[in-house]
Structure 1
Amino acid sequence: MDSTEDVIEQNDLVLEAFLNWMTDLTDHTSTQVTWHYANVEAFLEYLSTVAQTTVFNLNEFDLRWFLFHYYIRHDSSYVEEAAAHILPASLGLFFQFLDEERGWKTPQWILDALRNQAWFEKRLIDYRKLSALDLEAAELAYVRWNQELLEDLDNRLLLLPKELVEGVLWNEPAGWREAALYRQASRLWLRLREELLADATLSESDVREALLSAYTNWVRTPQERLENQSPIEVILAERDERAGLMQGEDGLEEVEEDE
């Protein structure tokens, strides 16, 4: 696995090459080039810092989460209005560049996601409407907005189960070990999903069942890199450790108040 520094360097080099390639496009104005660059820069920044992967290791979850959630919440307000609405086109141009200049063939699932301009527009507009609502109404509307995407991702088998084991959910926010294990589980899930979906003999229920079986096995199987502990053991130990630290901080505050 590439280090964080390597991931950032690779994505930065691709971004620079993309800009150079765009300057030779005769059918794009300098303003359009600026808009596309800003959008792709945001995308690669997301991959480097949030997904922690290069564009060449992109998976469908990372693309859909950025396109229909992360960009709308975190990046769309920092670019010009017109630029925000053309994000799918910007990413489409970027993948065209990767195809033509780097020989990286665009998977069909990328093309399918980017064609959904109407849903992207709807989610962008609906999110911006939240600012006009009072706090309680905005919170309820946001929950619905967020749930809409989560249901779509789950229907596509792109989401990990919420439960680690019966009665134990993934934490949010998580400790650094749990967060790292969640990323590992997600990568394994998505890689296996891709392999299973390539088998035309399997139904959707067959794929889901196989994914859940592999996930359950991963949660409970000791790993050498975890000092022969299972992911669930490491996660529960970290939670106990964090709970103890928080109790210690609360006790210290009480002592300081008594003094």
Structure 2
Amino acid sequence: MKRYFGKAVLLFFLVATVGRADASDFLVMYQDVTRDGELDEIKLLDNGGPFYTLRVVSKGDEILHNEKLIPKKISNEGGLDIFQGVSVADHNISIRYRFCGPSSSICYDRNLVWVFKGKKFILLKEEVVAAADKISLSDAFYQKTEILLSSLTYESLIENNENAEMLFGRIYGSCVAGLGGDALMKISEALEKSTPDEWVMKDGCVTAALVFNLEAQKYLSYEAALRYLSVFEKSKAK
């Protein structure tokens, strides 16, 4: 997680300081993203709107144009971090976002990897890191249906965060995402009681994996963790 996020930070810094070729060019890269052995031109253009225009030119022809995907701001009015970075690796275009705000305990790093195929860029996979404090998970989701880079919008991207949300919930339960920015504290306080709150013991709210991590991160006492696991084992035996 630290490695690719660090690359994104470095990329953004370089873009902001030395990436201007003229008044409207925010970033210009020359990489072979069409896999034909020749360098293509990848640009982020500043046209004065809220988004950068992403363009790819190959052999003098524009093969990609998207004006609605990469926001200029790295945080919005609600305090949500929406950090973005653009790079090329293994001939594929990578576009990275970080969704991290005060209303949720979970931060999501999403790396969208695009491959050029059949004269268009399609989504190959989405690499996700989901983290709540020091509790994190990572996975890669390969795309089953065709999604075109030319038509994807930022709004549709943030409305479709199922892969990232399911990743964390599947391993650690649903309550971390559902309880807001101080979810880990709320869960720990409920579990510390001699008789844990009913809501926290409901099936699917938390998991043994989350309890182990809360105890390891000093959110939860060893005694409370054992108490939960005892109740958990009894419920499984029924």
| TM-score of the pair, normalised by structure 1 | 0.28
Higher relative contact order (CA 8 A, sep 6+): 1
- TM-score scaled to structure 2, two decimals? 0.30
